[in-house]
Structure 1
Amino acid sequence: MTTIVIAEDHQMLIDGVKSFFEYDEEIKIIGSVNNGEELIKLVELKQPKLVITDIRMPKMDGIAATKIIKSKFKHIKVLALTMFDQPDAIKQMLDAGASGYLLKNSGIKMLSKAIKVIAEGNTFFDPNVAFNFMNDYIDKNVTIGKSDQIVLSNREKEILQHIANGKTSKQIAEDLFIAKTTVDTHRKNMIRKLNLNSGNELVKYAIDKKYQF
């Protein structure tokens, strides 16, 4: 059985997860807290097999908490459950020692899948997060969740609108005050998310959806 503690500052989400797994014979929620500091104490007390943690929390964020947990208990797995889909956030959680990264809008069934994959010693990622750089941080088998829903971030939608208006990556970067490499990364991620084959197909998609963002 996979024993789990959850760190999340929204109690409603915790209650929903507990309710879903209440009668699951393979997964057992053995504790929950609402901030990073309490998470450290709970992990020391309960010694779970897996920690599910948000990134933004009071007192101590999930990244800092993960670093401490992995330094003290290398065998305990960590799954990030968050709304942040920015590459920097993903990179920081990976560097801290997380074995998975899942967005909150992915649904409870994908959370169940992520838990089981990570418990088996593998790595799990939400299909809607940027993962083109992940091979630099992962040396285990990686599972990418499957979803029929395509979720573009607000920044991606913004860049897609600029693409639809015929702007280059350099022009978009100047307009949005971000690096050109950041724009290029978003382009690659959108091509992957939308199951396209090239930058030209992305441009065509952007033009087709110009007034639907």
Structure 2
Amino acid sequence: MNKTNNSSAVKVMLIDDHALVAEGFRELLLKILPPESTVDIFSSTERATKGLEIENYTIVITDLIIPGQNVLNFIATCRKAYEGIIILVISSVVDANSIKSCLAAGANGYLSKAVTSNEIILALEYTFDGKRFISGDLTGRLTDSILFTGNSGLTKKEMEVLRLVAAGNKTKKVAEILFVSPITIMAHKRNIMRKLNLHSSTELVKYVYENNLI
């Protein structure tokens, strides 16, 4: 899908709370999408939800972490209400559990923000053909996570907490991202340490990186 392609124009909804990043990405998309395509930027899922009620969008592209927003719920609601729409997540969050959660919620594809324009084109082509797409730099993480999760004894939520903590997030921040209380996160951390036989945050971070989980 590019400027030389004879495909019909598409209408894209781009959700990102960073204005400069969103504007730059918008310009990139307009270069690779068919002529006459449009890209509308929304800074929150609430505004995006209202936008979907007004315009007939072909594609929704969203970041995963938007302060104060539950993007997973938005994806699930969007998928239920607009069955044929293409939903792509492009994020700096690259842990396997987030990828699997987004796909389970109804996303058609997941890409890291490190991808090139060629891979975005490939993602659009795959998803328009009804296939799911994960960017090449993330497929290894997904495979490693599947193997690790089956042997670690950790729950899905504990895996989320493990990766977020190892990525340098404080307890309060992890709680905000997962929409739970800091006390709940502290309880998860204790259970993780016990199950993995770890005794400090330093050991936890080392364990995650040695097992290629982040």
Question: What's the TM-score once normalised by structure 2's chain length?
Answer: 0.61
Counting only pairs closer than 5 Å after superposition, residues 76-115 of structure 1 correspond to structure 2 as 76-115=85-124
- How many residues get paired? 157
Write the distance in 1 (CA, Å) between the matches of 2:18 and 2:93.
15
Code of the residue aligned with 1:187 in structure 2: it is N
Report if the CA contact (8 A) 1:101-1:125 is conserved.
Answer: yes
CA RMSD of aligned residues (A): 3.4
Report if the CA contact (8 A) 1:36-1:60 is conserved.
Answer: yes
Deviations along 1:131-156, whole A, 9 cap, x unmatched?
A: 2268xxxxxxxxxxxxxxxxxx9959
Counting only pairs closer than 5 Å after superposition, residues 20-169 of structure 1 correspond to structure 2 as 20-24=28-32, 26=34, 28-129=37-138, 130-132=141-143
Report if the CA contact (8 A) 1:31-1:42 is conserved.
Answer: no
2:29 is aligned with 1:5:
no
Code of the residue aligned with 1:4 in structure 2: it is V
Taking structure 1 as reference, are residues 154 and 83 closer, same or farther at Cα in structure 2, changes over 3 Å only?
Answer: farther
| Structure 2: gaps (5+ residues) | 1-7, 147-163, 168-195
Q: CA deviation at 1:81?
A: 0.8
Deviations along 1:27-67, whole A, 9 cap, x unmatched?
A: 72331101111111112222212110011114423212101
2:211 is aligned with 1:187:
yes
Please give the secondary structure, in 2, of the residue aligned with 1:74.
coil
Please give the secondary structure, in 1, of the residue aligned with 2:142.
coil
Write the distance in 1 (CA, Å) between the matches of 2:109 and 2:202.
31
Question: What's the TM-score once normalised by structure 1's chain length?
Answer: 0.61
**By percentage of residues, which structure has more helix?**
2
| Structure 1: gaps (5+ residues) | 135-152, 157-169, 191-213
Write the distance in 1 (CA, Å) between the matches of 2:137 and 2:209.
14
- Which gives a bigger RCO, structure 1 or 2 (Cα 8 Å, sep 6+)? 2
Equivalent residue number for residue 146 of structure 1: none
Write the distance in 2 (CA, Å) between the matches of 1:186 and 1:119.
37
Report if the CA contact (8 A) 1:34-1:58 is conserved.
Answer: no
Q: Alignment identity in percent?
A: 17
Code of the residue aligned with 2:142 in structure 1: it is F
Code of the residue aligned with 2:113 in structure 1: it is K
Code of the residue aligned with 1:8 in structure 2: it is D
Taking structure 1 as reference, are residues 60 and 189 closer, same or farther at Cα in structure 2, changes over 3 Å only?
Answer: closer
